[in-house]
Amino acid sequence: MREFSIAENRMFQADGRDFIFLVKENAVYQLDAGIKALLDGVPQGEVRSESRLLQDFVGYPSEERGELLRGLVKRHILVPSSFVKADGKPMPTAPSPHPVPMQTLILQVTEACNLACRYCYYSEGDGSSGGRRGHRTMSRDVAEKGIDFLLEHAAAAEKLVLVFFGGEPLLNLPLISSAVDYAREKADEKGKHMDFALTTNGTLLKPEVIQFLVDRDIGVTVSMDGPQEIHDRNRRFRDGRPSYGAILPGLKELLRASVRKPVVARVTLVDAPQAVPDILDHLLGLGFAEVGLAPVTTNHPAYQFDASRLDGLMDQFRRLADRFLEAARTNEFLGFSNLIDLLTVIHQSEVRTRPCGAGLGLFAADPEGRLYSCQRFLGEDAFCMGNLFTGLDGSKVEGFRREAVVDRKPLCMACWARALCAGGCYYEAWVREGSPFQPNTHYCRWIRQWTELGLEVYGKIYLSNPEYLDKLALLRGQTSIFNQFYINDRRPV
């Protein structure tokens, strides 16, 4: 006789309807009252026989119970008891036996920057983590070697991404231009598609630069912190001049000209979380397609988000989530990137064993060709993983990949949100926790609250305008997957 347990889960409600979130599957299902009552009556981790479970389907005709049971097993809501350890906890995720192709390379085309943002993790500003800025500039030879390296390590991956980073990357525009041409030529030869992206502070957006970005189809992210009085508080030129006024004319032209690849804004939050809705409205009002917001990463007490600020930020994110939901119900769009990303990950049932692709399918190269797990670790010798000219250090890469997996973080394995968080940003953990492989415990409560909010919004959109979730997935370049079902009379939604 087969035995089953209820899979690790989190129950939630949306608009009075019951849903279940499967932790290991990152899948969401709506439950009818009978199934909800059955699941409520079986303690998580308890093993029950198939015959006992069939008896527990109170209120269902006997001829339907077998099919209902099979439906719960098929959707992994009920799992064979062998999938659960004796202590009632889920078995860890098995590592993938397949090699990971490289898909993204970030080129630090220059270390120089014409701004001295006070909170910059890479500058000598008074809020930095020590300052790592130099004056090195990447040469054409290094950039081309990086492109060759990306293509050589891409294996079967057909879509690749080359990102230009700084400092301020537009200070080395000639190199970016030659690199784009070289990358397109080499990618065409190998039958691959190469996308390009660039992160800029927006101060160098002259007409000829804008025309170049548009003509070469380069995706642009602009670091901008909101209205003038907020932006200029921390984002100033090296001589102390404010930067907002210098950015605005070129930015408006870029936003007008960029049709094929809409421009997005990246906001660093330092204080006053109550200003978040105004920041979003201001930047969307300028013409940005989307706005992503993140608290500054630092140990500097003047800039660090404490528990009170995080609570304030959650309050504002709830307000924005309500606005997003209102827009979604009428097929309108609110470019709140944080929520779009979360809803897309939930909808795609993407299970994260690591928080991002750093050191996996993504690496960053400094001006001399030294390789790091991501751009935030550039210049930190302890996190150098090789060189474009001599190759990756296999032992360092494998060590990083082994230690980074969420299964090695006991606190995370006890958390229901781990499939969406996986412990959080490696760099953030290094700065705040002392190790890139530690979970970001200072954010744990916030992340769980944010995930609960995301699940609730997901459920409400699912009930009112389910096709909208497919649209969000397509917006992120994902294949449309609609695998949620009612667990009642076998009707797919």
pTM of the predicted structure, to 2 decimals: 0.91
When the pLDDT of each residue in the chain is averaged and rounded to a whole number, the result is 90
Contacts of 265 by beta carbon, 8 Å cutoff, 6+ apart:
221, 222, 223, 224, 283, 288, 290, 291, 292
User: What per-residue confidence (pLDDT) applies to 397?
Assistant: 95
pLDDT tens digits, one per residue of 206-264: 999 999 999 999 999 999 999 999 999 999 999 999 999 999 999 999 999 998 899 99
In degrees and rounded to multiples of 5, residue 269 shows phi and psi of -90, 130
Nearest to 117 by CA among 259, 268, 16: 268
The whole-angstrom separation of Cα 29 and Cα 65 is 19
User: What per-residue confidence (pLDDT) applies to 103?
Assistant: 96
**Bridge partners for 164 per DSSP:** 107, 198
Query: Does the domain at residues 104-371 carry the CATH identifier 2.60.40.10?
Result: no
Write out the two tokens for 343.
């809803």
Contacts of 204 by beta carbon, 8 Å cutoff, 6+ apart:
114, 168, 170, 171, 173, 250
Enumerate the domain spans of the chain.
1-91, 104-371
Judge whether 203 and 247 are in contact, CB under 8 Å: yes
What DSSP line would sit under 169-194, residue for residue?
A: GGGGHHHHHHHHHHHHHHHHHTT-EE
Q: Quick one: CA dihedral 347, 350, 354, 359, positive or negative?
A: negative
Judge whether 490 and 71 are in contact, CB under 8 Å: yes
Q: Is 183 exposed, middle or buried (0-12, 13-18, 19+ CB in 10 A)?
A: buried
User: What per-residue confidence (pLDDT) applies to 483?
Assistant: 41
The whole-angstrom separation of Cα 265 and Cα 259 is 15
pLDDT tens digits, one per residue of 342-392: 999 999 998 889 999 999 999 999 999 999 999 999 999 999 999 999 999
Give the number of other Cβ atoms within 10 Å of residue 369's Cβ: 20
Q: Which CATH architecture has domain 1-91?
A: Alpha-Beta Complex (3.90)
User: What per-residue confidence (pLDDT) applies to 132?
Assistant: 57
Q: What is the DSSP letter of 41?
A: T
The whole-angstrom separation of Cα 366 and Cα 144 is 13
pLDDT in tens, the chain (493 residues): 799 999 999 999 999 999 999 999 999 999 999 999 989 988 878 999 999 999 888 789 989 999 999 999 999 999 998 765 545 455 555 444 446 789 999 999 999 999 999 988 765 444 444 455 578 999 999 999 999 999 999 988 999 999 999 999 999 999 999 999 999 999 999 999 999 999 999 999 999 999 999 999 999 999 999 999 999 999 999 999 999 999 999 999 999 999 889 999 999 998 879 999 999 999 999 999 999 999 998 777 777 788 899 999 999 999 999 999 999 999 999 999 999 999 999 999 988 899 999 999 999 999 999 999 999 999 999 999 999 999 999 999 999 999 999 999 999 999 999 999 999 999 999 998 999 999 999 899 999 999 999 999 999 999 999 999 999 999 987 544 444 434 443 332 2
